[in-house]
Structure 1
Amino acid sequence: MAHPSTTDHRTVGAAARLLGVTTRTLHHWDTIGLVSPSERTLAGYRLYTAADLARAHRVLVYRELGVALDEIGALLDAPATDALDTLRRQRDELGARIDRLERMAEAVDRMIEARESGILLSAEDQIAIFGGDWQPAWVEQAREQWGDTPQWAQYAERAATRSAEDWQRITAETEALHADLAAACRSGVLPGDPRADALAERHRASLATYFDCTHAMHVCLGRRYVSEPGYVAYYDAIAPGLTAWLREVIDANARAHGIDPATATWE
Protein backbone atom coordinates (compact mmCIF):
# COMPACT_ATOMS: atom_id res chain seq x y z
CA MET A 1 0.00 0.00 0.00
CA ALA A 2 1.33 3.43 -0.89
CA HIS A 3 2.12 5.83 1.91
CA PRO A 4 -0.89 8.21 2.17
CA SER A 5 -0.40 11.95 1.82
CA THR A 6 -0.78 13.76 5.15
CA THR A 7 -2.58 16.60 3.38
CA ASP A 8 -5.30 14.31 2.04
CA HIS A 9 -5.80 12.18 5.14
CA ARG A 10 -6.51 12.98 8.78
CA THR A 11 -5.53 11.27 11.99
CA VAL A 12 -8.24 10.54 14.53
CA GLY A 13 -7.37 13.67 16.51
CA ALA A 14 -7.28 15.91 13.45
CA ALA A 15 -10.54 14.47 12.14
CA ALA A 16 -12.21 15.02 15.50
CA ARG A 17 -11.15 18.66 15.55
CA LEU A 18 -12.34 19.17 11.98
CA LEU A 19 -15.73 17.61 12.71
CA GLY A 20 -16.18 19.24 16.11
CA VAL A 21 -16.55 15.93 17.97
CA THR A 22 -14.40 14.05 20.44
CA THR A 23 -11.96 11.29 19.55
CA ARG A 24 -14.07 9.06 21.78
CA THR A 25 -17.05 9.71 19.49
CA LEU A 26 -15.03 8.74 16.42
CA HIS A 27 -13.78 5.60 18.14
CA HIS A 28 -17.40 4.70 18.97
CA TRP A 29 -18.53 5.29 15.39
CA ASP A 30 -15.68 3.09 14.23
CA THR A 31 -16.59 0.34 16.71
CA ILE A 32 -20.22 0.20 15.55
CA GLY A 33 -19.19 0.37 11.90
CA LEU A 34 -20.78 3.76 11.26
CA VAL A 35 -17.67 5.63 10.10
CA SER A 36 -14.30 3.89 9.93
CA PRO A 37 -10.95 5.30 8.76
CA SER A 38 -10.03 3.72 5.44
CA GLU A 39 -6.26 4.16 5.46
CA ARG A 40 -3.29 3.52 7.71
CA THR A 41 0.16 5.01 7.90
CA LEU A 42 3.23 2.80 7.58
CA ALA A 43 3.40 2.97 11.38
CA GLY A 44 -0.13 1.58 11.62
CA TYR A 45 -1.97 4.77 12.62
CA ARG A 46 -5.47 4.96 11.20
CA LEU A 47 -6.30 7.80 8.82
CA TYR A 48 -9.57 9.28 7.60
CA THR A 49 -9.87 9.96 3.89
CA ALA A 50 -11.91 12.74 2.32
CA ALA A 51 -14.69 10.21 1.66
CA ASP A 52 -14.59 9.08 5.31
CA LEU A 53 -14.92 12.68 6.48
CA ALA A 54 -17.78 13.32 4.07
CA ARG A 55 -19.61 10.31 5.54
CA ALA A 56 -18.91 11.60 9.05
CA HIS A 57 -20.40 14.98 8.11
CA ARG A 58 -23.55 13.22 6.92
CA VAL A 59 -23.72 11.39 10.25
CA LEU A 60 -23.60 14.74 12.04
CA VAL A 61 -26.41 16.09 9.90
CA TYR A 62 -28.64 13.10 10.56
CA ARG A 63 -27.79 13.13 14.25
CA GLU A 64 -28.78 16.80 14.43
CA LEU A 65 -32.10 15.84 12.84
CA GLY A 66 -32.66 13.41 15.68
CA VAL A 67 -32.06 10.17 13.78
CA ALA A 68 -30.75 7.40 16.06
CA LEU A 69 -27.22 6.17 15.37
CA ASP A 70 -28.42 2.65 14.64
CA GLU A 71 -30.69 4.08 11.94
CA ILE A 72 -28.09 6.43 10.47
CA GLY A 73 -25.88 3.62 9.19
CA ALA A 74 -28.78 1.98 7.40
CA LEU A 75 -29.83 5.35 6.01
CA LEU A 76 -26.37 6.10 4.64
CA ASP A 77 -26.09 2.70 3.00
CA ALA A 78 -29.69 2.43 1.80
CA PRO A 79 -30.79 2.72 -1.84
CA ALA A 80 -31.94 6.19 -2.80
CA THR A 81 -35.66 5.30 -2.61
CA ASP A 82 -35.39 3.88 0.90
CA ALA A 83 -33.34 6.87 2.02
CA LEU A 84 -36.00 9.25 0.72
CA ASP A 85 -38.72 7.40 2.60
CA THR A 86 -36.69 7.64 5.78
CA LEU A 87 -36.02 11.34 5.26
CA ARG A 88 -39.68 12.06 4.59
CA ARG A 89 -40.64 10.24 7.78
CA GLN A 90 -38.01 12.19 9.67
CA ARG A 91 -39.33 15.44 8.18
CA ASP A 92 -42.83 14.61 9.46
CA GLU A 93 -41.43 13.91 12.93
CA LEU A 94 -39.51 17.18 12.87
CA GLY A 95 -42.68 19.04 11.88
CA ALA A 96 -44.52 17.53 14.85
CA ARG A 97 -41.62 18.42 17.14
CA ILE A 98 -41.57 21.99 15.85
CA ASP A 99 -45.30 22.29 16.56
CA ARG A 100 -44.75 21.07 20.12
CA LEU A 101 -41.85 23.46 20.64
CA GLU A 102 -43.88 26.38 19.30
CA ARG A 103 -46.69 25.57 21.72
CA MET A 104 -44.16 25.35 24.54
CA ALA A 105 -42.67 28.70 23.51
CA GLU A 106 -46.14 30.27 23.54
CA ALA A 107 -46.76 28.84 27.01
CA VAL A 108 -43.45 30.24 28.24
CA ASP A 109 -44.31 33.64 26.73
CA ARG A 110 -47.63 33.60 28.59
CA MET A 111 -45.82 32.65 31.78
CA ILE A 112 -43.38 35.53 31.36
CA GLU A 113 -46.22 37.95 30.69
CA ALA A 114 -48.17 36.64 33.68
CA ARG A 115 -45.12 37.01 35.93
CA GLU A 116 -44.69 40.59 34.76
CA SER A 117 -48.30 41.74 34.59
CA GLY A 118 -50.06 39.38 37.01
CA ILE A 119 -53.08 38.87 34.79
CA LEU A 120 -53.44 38.34 31.05
CA LEU A 121 -56.39 40.66 30.54
CA SER A 122 -56.53 44.18 29.18
CA ALA A 123 -57.50 46.95 31.60
CA GLU A 124 -60.87 47.19 29.84
CA ASP A 125 -61.53 43.48 30.18
CA GLN A 126 -60.52 43.55 33.86
CA ILE A 127 -63.08 46.27 34.59
CA ALA A 128 -65.75 44.50 32.53
CA ILE A 129 -65.22 41.23 34.42
CA PHE A 130 -64.35 42.44 37.93
CA GLY A 131 -66.70 45.41 38.07
CA GLY A 132 -66.58 49.18 37.76
CA ASP A 133 -64.84 49.59 41.14
CA TRP A 134 -61.92 47.46 39.99
CA GLN A 135 -58.63 49.29 39.49
CA PRO A 136 -56.13 47.53 37.15
CA ALA A 137 -53.33 49.28 39.06
CA TRP A 138 -54.06 46.97 42.00
CA VAL A 139 -52.44 44.07 40.16
CA GLU A 140 -49.23 46.06 39.66
CA GLN A 141 -49.27 47.05 43.33
CA ALA A 142 -49.66 43.40 44.29
CA ARG A 143 -46.74 42.42 42.05
CA GLU A 144 -44.54 45.08 43.64
CA GLN A 145 -45.42 43.78 47.09
CA TRP A 146 -45.47 40.03 46.44
CA GLY A 147 -43.55 39.58 43.17
CA ASP A 148 -40.59 37.78 44.75
CA THR A 149 -42.68 35.28 46.74
CA PRO A 150 -43.60 31.67 45.91
CA GLN A 151 -47.26 32.68 46.14
CA TRP A 152 -46.89 35.20 43.33
CA ALA A 153 -45.15 32.55 41.25
CA GLN A 154 -48.12 30.21 41.80
CA TYR A 155 -50.54 33.00 40.98
CA ALA A 156 -48.70 33.78 37.73
CA GLU A 157 -48.55 30.12 36.71
CA ARG A 158 -52.29 29.75 37.18
CA ALA A 159 -53.11 33.12 35.62
CA ALA A 160 -51.10 32.18 32.52
CA THR A 161 -53.58 29.40 31.70
CA ARG A 162 -56.80 31.33 32.36
CA SER A 163 -59.10 32.83 29.78
CA ALA A 164 -61.59 35.67 30.20
CA GLU A 165 -64.29 33.01 30.69
CA ASP A 166 -62.26 31.45 33.52
CA TRP A 167 -61.99 34.80 35.25
CA GLN A 168 -65.72 35.40 34.81
CA ARG A 169 -66.43 32.06 36.50
CA ILE A 170 -64.02 32.84 39.35
CA THR A 171 -65.58 36.28 39.79
CA ALA A 172 -69.09 34.80 39.94
CA GLU A 173 -67.98 32.26 42.56
CA THR A 174 -66.34 35.01 44.62
CA GLU A 175 -69.47 37.17 44.47
CA ALA A 176 -71.59 34.23 45.61
CA LEU A 177 -69.18 33.61 48.51
CA HIS A 178 -69.30 37.27 49.55
CA ALA A 179 -73.09 37.23 49.48
CA ASP A 180 -73.14 34.16 51.74
CA LEU A 181 -70.56 35.69 54.09
CA ALA A 182 -72.62 38.88 54.33
CA ALA A 183 -75.82 36.95 54.98
CA ALA A 184 -74.20 34.91 57.75
CA CYS A 185 -72.69 38.00 59.34
CA ARG A 186 -76.01 39.87 59.30
CA SER A 187 -77.91 36.91 60.75
CA GLY A 188 -75.50 36.61 63.67
CA VAL A 189 -73.82 33.29 62.85
CA LEU A 190 -71.11 32.94 65.50
CA PRO A 191 -67.48 32.10 64.80
CA GLY A 192 -66.96 28.39 65.43
CA ASP A 193 -70.48 27.52 64.29
CA PRO A 194 -70.33 24.76 61.65
CA ARG A 195 -71.90 27.15 59.15
CA ALA A 196 -69.18 29.71 59.85
CA ASP A 197 -66.45 27.06 59.57
CA ALA A 198 -67.85 25.98 56.21
CA LEU A 199 -67.75 29.57 54.99
CA ALA A 200 -64.19 29.96 56.26
CA GLU A 201 -63.20 26.91 54.24
CA ARG A 202 -64.91 28.32 51.16
CA HIS A 203 -63.05 31.59 51.67
CA ARG A 204 -59.72 29.74 52.01
CA ALA A 205 -60.56 27.72 48.89
CA SER A 206 -61.24 30.94 46.99
CA LEU A 207 -57.73 32.12 47.90
CA ALA A 208 -56.38 28.77 46.72
CA THR A 209 -57.63 29.75 43.27
CA TYR A 210 -54.56 31.98 43.21
CA PHE A 211 -52.05 30.23 45.51
CA ASP A 212 -51.95 27.39 48.01
CA CYS A 213 -53.27 28.77 51.29
CA THR A 214 -52.76 26.89 54.57
CA HIS A 215 -54.86 27.54 57.67
CA ALA A 216 -51.93 29.41 59.23
CA MET A 217 -51.58 31.60 56.14
CA HIS A 218 -55.33 32.18 56.25
CA VAL A 219 -54.98 33.51 59.81
CA CYS A 220 -52.18 35.84 58.71
CA LEU A 221 -54.37 37.20 55.94
CA GLY A 222 -57.21 37.71 58.43
CA ARG A 223 -54.91 39.90 60.50
CA ARG A 224 -54.16 42.02 57.44
CA TYR A 225 -57.87 42.36 56.71
CA VAL A 226 -58.53 44.14 60.02
CA SER A 227 -55.28 46.13 60.11
CA GLU A 228 -55.22 47.64 56.62
CA PRO A 229 -57.82 50.30 55.73
CA GLY A 230 -58.13 49.08 52.14
CA TYR A 231 -59.26 45.60 53.23
CA VAL A 232 -61.59 47.03 55.89
CA ALA A 233 -63.24 49.29 53.34
CA TYR A 234 -63.53 46.42 50.85
CA TYR A 235 -65.22 43.90 53.16
CA ASP A 236 -67.27 46.38 55.16
CA ALA A 237 -68.70 47.70 51.89
CA ILE A 238 -70.15 44.21 51.36
CA ALA A 239 -71.70 44.21 54.84
CA PRO A 240 -71.05 46.46 57.84
CA GLY A 241 -68.72 44.74 60.30
CA LEU A 242 -67.90 41.93 57.87
CA THR A 243 -64.14 42.45 58.11
CA ALA A 244 -63.91 41.87 61.87
CA TRP A 245 -66.45 39.03 61.74
CA LEU A 246 -64.55 37.30 58.94
CA ARG A 247 -61.29 37.55 60.85
CA GLU A 248 -62.91 35.90 63.89
CA VAL A 249 -64.45 33.19 61.71
CA ILE A 250 -61.07 32.47 60.12
CA ASP A 251 -59.40 32.24 63.55
CA ALA A 252 -62.07 29.91 64.93
CA ASN A 253 -61.81 27.63 61.91
CA ALA A 254 -58.03 27.56 62.24
CA ARG A 255 -58.33 26.48 65.90
CA ALA A 256 -60.58 23.64 64.78
CA HIS A 257 -57.72 22.52 62.52
CA GLY A 258 -55.06 22.68 65.25
CA ILE A 259 -53.68 26.16 64.53
CA ASP A 260 -53.29 28.73 67.30
CA PRO A 261 -54.14 32.10 65.74
CA ALA A 262 -51.98 33.88 68.30
CA THR A 263 -48.82 32.17 67.08
CA ALA A 264 -49.69 31.42 63.45
CA THR A 265 -47.05 32.48 60.93
CA TRP A 266 -46.90 32.71 57.16
CA GLU A 267 -45.67 29.32 56.03
Structure 2
Amino acid sequence: MSEYKEYVAWDLPTRWFHWINALAVLGLIGTALVILFGDALGLSAPGKVALKSIHVSLGYVMAINLVWRLVWAFLGNRYARWRGILPGGPGYLTVLRAYAASFLSGEPQQYVGHNPLARIGVALLFLLLIVQVATGLVIAGTDLYWPPFGHWFAAWVAAPGVDPSLVVPGATDLIDKASYDAMRAFRRPFVEVHELIFYALVVLIVLHVIAVVATEVHEGGSITSAMFTGRKILSRRPPDAP
Protein backbone atom coordinates (compact mmCIF):
# COMPACT_ATOMS: atom_id res chain seq x y z
CA MET A 1 0.00 0.00 0.00
CA SER A 2 1.37 3.42 -0.96
CA GLU A 3 1.98 5.96 1.75
CA TYR A 4 2.09 9.51 0.40
CA LYS A 5 4.54 11.97 1.89
CA GLU A 6 5.37 15.56 1.02
CA TYR A 7 8.97 16.60 0.36
CA VAL A 8 10.51 20.05 -0.12
CA ALA A 9 12.08 20.00 -3.61
CA TRP A 10 12.66 23.25 -5.49
CA ASP A 11 13.57 26.40 -3.60
CA LEU A 12 12.11 29.75 -4.65
CA PRO A 13 15.10 31.05 -6.68
CA THR A 14 15.18 27.80 -8.67
CA ARG A 15 11.48 28.10 -9.46
CA TRP A 16 11.84 31.74 -10.50
CA PHE A 17 14.75 30.80 -12.79
CA HIS A 18 12.69 28.06 -14.42
CA TRP A 19 9.71 30.22 -15.30
CA ILE A 20 11.69 33.32 -16.28
CA ASN A 21 13.87 31.14 -18.50
CA ALA A 22 10.81 29.43 -20.01
CA LEU A 23 9.14 32.75 -20.89
CA ALA A 24 12.37 34.29 -22.22
CA VAL A 25 13.15 31.24 -24.38
CA LEU A 26 9.63 31.14 -25.80
CA GLY A 27 9.88 34.84 -26.64
CA LEU A 28 13.29 34.31 -28.22
CA ILE A 29 12.01 31.41 -30.32
CA GLY A 30 9.03 33.44 -31.51
CA THR A 31 11.05 36.51 -32.48
CA ALA A 32 13.81 34.36 -34.02
CA LEU A 33 11.34 32.62 -36.31
CA VAL A 34 9.98 35.93 -37.57
CA ILE A 35 13.53 37.23 -38.12
CA LEU A 36 14.57 34.05 -39.96
CA PHE A 37 11.57 34.23 -42.28
CA GLY A 38 11.38 38.03 -42.33
CA ASP A 39 11.89 38.35 -46.08
CA ALA A 40 9.12 35.87 -46.86
CA LEU A 41 6.85 37.68 -44.38
CA GLY A 42 7.59 41.05 -45.98
CA LEU A 43 9.32 42.46 -42.89
CA SER A 44 10.83 45.88 -43.61
CA ALA A 45 14.43 46.77 -42.72
CA PRO A 46 13.37 49.06 -39.82
CA GLY A 47 10.93 46.37 -38.68
CA LYS A 48 13.70 43.79 -38.68
CA VAL A 49 15.93 46.08 -36.58
CA ALA A 50 13.08 46.65 -34.11
CA LEU A 51 12.43 42.91 -33.87
CA LYS A 52 16.12 42.20 -33.39
CA SER A 53 16.13 44.78 -30.57
CA ILE A 54 13.31 42.90 -28.85
CA HIS A 55 15.07 39.58 -29.46
CA VAL A 56 18.35 40.82 -27.98
CA SER A 57 16.55 42.38 -25.00
CA LEU A 58 14.99 39.00 -24.25
CA GLY A 59 18.44 37.49 -24.69
CA TYR A 60 19.81 39.80 -21.99
CA VAL A 61 17.02 38.64 -19.66
CA MET A 62 17.88 35.02 -20.37
CA ALA A 63 21.61 35.66 -19.92
CA ILE A 64 21.24 37.43 -16.57
CA ASN A 65 18.82 34.76 -15.39
CA LEU A 66 21.21 32.00 -16.48
CA VAL A 67 24.20 33.58 -14.74
CA TRP A 68 22.11 33.85 -11.58
CA ARG A 69 21.19 30.16 -11.82
CA LEU A 70 24.82 29.13 -12.28
CA VAL A 71 25.70 31.07 -9.14
CA TRP A 72 22.71 29.63 -7.25
CA ALA A 73 24.02 26.15 -8.03
CA PHE A 74 26.64 26.88 -5.36
CA LEU A 75 24.19 28.38 -2.84
CA GLY A 76 20.80 26.70 -3.22
CA ASN A 77 19.32 23.72 -1.45
CA ARG A 78 20.60 20.20 -2.12
CA TYR A 79 18.41 19.75 -5.19
CA ALA A 80 19.45 23.09 -6.74
CA ARG A 81 23.20 22.53 -6.36
CA TRP A 82 25.58 21.19 -8.97
CA ARG A 83 25.77 17.72 -7.43
CA GLY A 84 21.99 17.48 -7.66
CA ILE A 85 21.55 18.70 -11.22
CA LEU A 86 24.54 17.38 -13.20
CA PRO A 87 25.26 13.77 -14.13
CA GLY A 88 28.37 12.10 -12.80
CA GLY A 89 29.89 11.63 -9.40
CA PRO A 90 30.49 8.46 -7.38
CA GLY A 91 27.96 5.75 -8.20
CA TYR A 92 26.14 7.75 -10.86
CA LEU A 93 26.09 4.95 -13.44
CA THR A 94 24.75 2.57 -10.82
CA VAL A 95 21.83 4.83 -9.90
CA LEU A 96 21.19 5.55 -13.59
CA ARG A 97 20.91 1.84 -14.35
CA ALA A 98 18.72 1.31 -11.29
CA TYR A 99 16.40 4.13 -12.35
CA ALA A 100 16.18 2.86 -15.94
CA ALA A 101 15.41 -0.67 -14.72
CA SER A 102 12.73 0.57 -12.33
CA PHE A 103 11.14 2.72 -15.06
CA LEU A 104 10.98 -0.23 -17.46
CA SER A 105 9.56 -2.46 -14.71
CA GLY A 106 6.50 -0.21 -14.41
CA GLU A 107 7.34 0.93 -10.86
CA PRO A 108 9.85 3.73 -11.40
CA GLN A 109 11.81 5.22 -8.55
CA GLN A 110 10.55 8.60 -7.42
CA TYR A 111 13.06 11.40 -6.90
CA VAL A 112 12.63 14.61 -4.93
CA GLY A 113 15.06 16.39 -7.25
CA HIS A 114 16.09 15.46 -10.77
CA ASN A 115 16.19 11.75 -11.47
CA PRO A 116 19.49 10.40 -12.93
CA LEU A 117 18.21 10.54 -16.52
CA ALA A 118 16.86 14.07 -16.15
CA ARG A 119 20.27 15.25 -14.94
CA ILE A 120 21.68 14.45 -18.38
CA GLY A 121 18.99 16.63 -19.95
CA VAL A 122 19.67 19.46 -17.51
CA ALA A 123 23.41 19.38 -18.26
CA LEU A 124 22.73 19.48 -22.00
CA LEU A 125 20.25 22.34 -21.57
CA PHE A 126 22.74 24.42 -19.58
CA LEU A 127 25.46 23.77 -22.15
CA LEU A 128 23.24 24.82 -25.05
CA LEU A 129 22.03 27.93 -23.23
CA ILE A 130 25.57 29.02 -22.39
CA VAL A 131 26.69 28.62 -26.02
CA GLN A 132 23.56 30.41 -27.23
CA VAL A 133 24.15 33.35 -24.90
CA ALA A 134 27.83 33.64 -25.89
CA THR A 135 27.14 33.56 -29.63
CA GLY A 136 24.09 35.80 -29.23
CA LEU A 137 26.14 38.52 -27.52
CA VAL A 138 28.60 38.52 -30.41
CA ILE A 139 25.78 38.71 -32.96
CA ALA A 140 24.10 41.54 -31.01
CA GLY A 141 27.38 43.45 -31.22
CA THR A 142 27.68 42.93 -34.97
CA ASP A 143 24.00 43.57 -35.81
CA LEU A 144 22.95 46.32 -33.40
CA TYR A 145 26.31 47.38 -31.93
CA TRP A 146 24.94 46.64 -28.45
CA PRO A 147 27.03 45.73 -25.37
CA PRO A 148 29.20 44.06 -24.40
CA PHE A 149 30.98 43.86 -27.76
CA GLY A 150 29.11 46.47 -29.79
CA HIS A 151 31.56 49.35 -29.31
CA TRP A 152 34.43 47.14 -30.44
CA PHE A 153 32.61 46.14 -33.62
CA ALA A 154 31.51 49.73 -34.27
CA ALA A 155 35.13 50.86 -33.97
CA TRP A 156 36.11 48.12 -36.42
CA VAL A 157 33.70 49.19 -39.16
CA ALA A 158 33.59 52.97 -38.63
CA ALA A 159 34.91 54.99 -41.54
CA PRO A 160 38.10 56.99 -40.91
CA GLY A 161 37.36 60.01 -38.72
CA VAL A 162 33.89 58.73 -37.71
CA ASP A 163 33.08 58.44 -34.00
CA PRO A 164 32.19 54.73 -33.42
CA SER A 165 29.36 55.79 -31.10
CA LEU A 166 27.57 57.22 -34.14
CA VAL A 167 27.55 53.90 -36.00
CA VAL A 168 24.07 52.38 -35.97
CA PRO A 169 22.38 49.65 -38.02
CA GLY A 170 21.83 50.83 -41.58
CA ALA A 171 24.23 53.80 -41.36
CA THR A 172 26.08 52.84 -44.53
CA ASP A 173 27.55 56.32 -44.97
CA LEU A 174 29.41 56.03 -41.64
CA ILE A 175 31.16 52.71 -42.23
CA ASP A 176 34.14 51.52 -44.19
CA LYS A 177 32.88 48.87 -46.62
CA ALA A 178 36.02 46.70 -46.55
CA SER A 179 36.07 46.70 -42.76
CA TYR A 180 32.35 45.98 -42.64
CA ASP A 181 32.73 43.02 -45.00
CA ALA A 182 35.59 41.68 -42.84
CA MET A 183 33.46 42.05 -39.71
CA ARG A 184 30.57 40.19 -41.33
CA ALA A 185 32.91 37.37 -42.33
CA PHE A 186 34.10 37.15 -38.71
CA ARG A 187 30.47 37.09 -37.60
CA ARG A 188 29.35 34.28 -39.92
CA PRO A 189 30.45 31.22 -37.88
CA PHE A 190 28.82 32.68 -34.75
CA VAL A 191 25.55 33.02 -36.66
CA GLU A 192 25.79 29.44 -37.94
CA VAL A 193 26.39 28.05 -34.44
CA HIS A 194 23.62 30.27 -33.03
CA GLU A 195 21.10 28.96 -35.56
CA LEU A 196 22.19 25.34 -35.01
CA ILE A 197 21.80 25.66 -31.23
CA PHE A 198 18.43 27.34 -31.79
CA TYR A 199 17.07 24.26 -33.54
CA ALA A 200 18.73 21.98 -30.96
CA LEU A 201 17.03 23.92 -28.16
CA VAL A 202 13.64 23.61 -29.85
CA VAL A 203 14.10 19.84 -30.06
CA LEU A 204 15.32 19.65 -26.46
CA ILE A 205 12.37 21.69 -25.20
CA VAL A 206 9.94 19.35 -26.97
CA LEU A 207 11.74 16.35 -25.44
CA HIS A 208 11.65 18.05 -22.04
CA VAL A 209 7.88 18.49 -22.20
CA ILE A 210 7.43 14.88 -23.32
CA ALA A 211 9.69 13.66 -20.50
CA VAL A 212 7.80 15.69 -17.89
CA VAL A 213 4.46 14.31 -19.09
CA ALA A 214 5.79 10.74 -19.23
CA THR A 215 7.34 11.01 -15.78
CA GLU A 216 4.20 12.57 -14.34
CA VAL A 217 2.09 9.74 -15.77
CA HIS A 218 4.38 6.87 -14.80
CA GLU A 219 5.82 8.16 -11.52
CA GLY A 220 3.37 10.69 -10.17
CA GLY A 221 4.93 13.02 -7.65
CA SER A 222 3.20 16.22 -8.78
CA ILE A 223 6.25 17.14 -10.87
CA THR A 224 4.59 20.02 -12.73
CA SER A 225 2.93 21.59 -9.70
CA ALA A 226 6.21 21.26 -7.75
CA MET A 227 7.72 23.92 -10.01
CA PHE A 228 5.04 26.26 -8.64
CA THR A 229 4.82 25.12 -5.03
CA GLY A 230 8.34 23.81 -4.49
CA ARG A 231 6.98 20.56 -3.02
CA LYS A 232 6.49 17.03 -4.31
CA ILE A 233 4.08 14.45 -2.96
CA LEU A 234 5.58 10.98 -3.40
CA SER A 235 4.14 7.54 -2.70
CA ARG A 236 7.49 5.78 -2.23
CA ARG A 237 10.62 6.79 -0.37
CA PRO A 238 12.91 8.57 -2.88
CA PRO A 239 16.59 7.58 -3.19
CA ASP A 240 17.62 11.25 -2.84
CA ALA A 241 15.53 11.98 0.26
CA PRO A 242 17.40 13.82 3.05
Larger Rg: 1
Higher relative contact order (CA 8 A, sep 6+): 2
Same fold (TM over 0.5): no
**TM-score, structure 1 normalization:** 0.22
**TM-score, structure 2 normalization:** 0.23
